[in-house]
Amino acid sequence: MLSISDEHLSNVEPVAKRLRGDASGGIPWMVILDNNGDSLATSDGPSGNIGYPFEPTEIEHFIDMLKRTSRRISSEEIAQLKSTLEEFAEAKRKEREAAKLSNPSGAPTP
């Protein structure tokens, strides 16, 4: 895994352009490369960049990326990862809903 950030590296733009082309979208953005540096899968799903996979379609795209490219991750490990992502997303949805119920106006709380 390599994180490319202009905060810590120079010449990020040419590397990002080579990997992502002209596509734009949010961050994080991911690409899985083969040993020649060619793209096998990206986080650009049907509705755009999945970023951190949170919505069901984003999680499915991320899991599909792994299934299509993995050589050392077992199906059980992929299933566990999917379950963990789904549990995290559900917990965050519940937190958001509870926050809305306790502050229906959406005004900042002191």
pLDDT at residue 67, as a whole number:
96
Q: Are 46 and 25 in contact (CB under 8 A)?
A: no
pLDDT at residue 2, as a whole number:
66
The per-residue pLDDT for range 32-65, each reduced to its tens digit, is 999 998 899 999 998 899 999 999 999 999 999 9
Q: Are 41 and 34 in contact (CB under 8 A)?
A: no
Phi, psi of 45 (to 5 degrees): -90, -170
Over 30-78, what HEC string results?
A: CEEECCCCCEEEECEECCEECCCCCCHHHHHHHHHHHHHHCCCCCHHHH
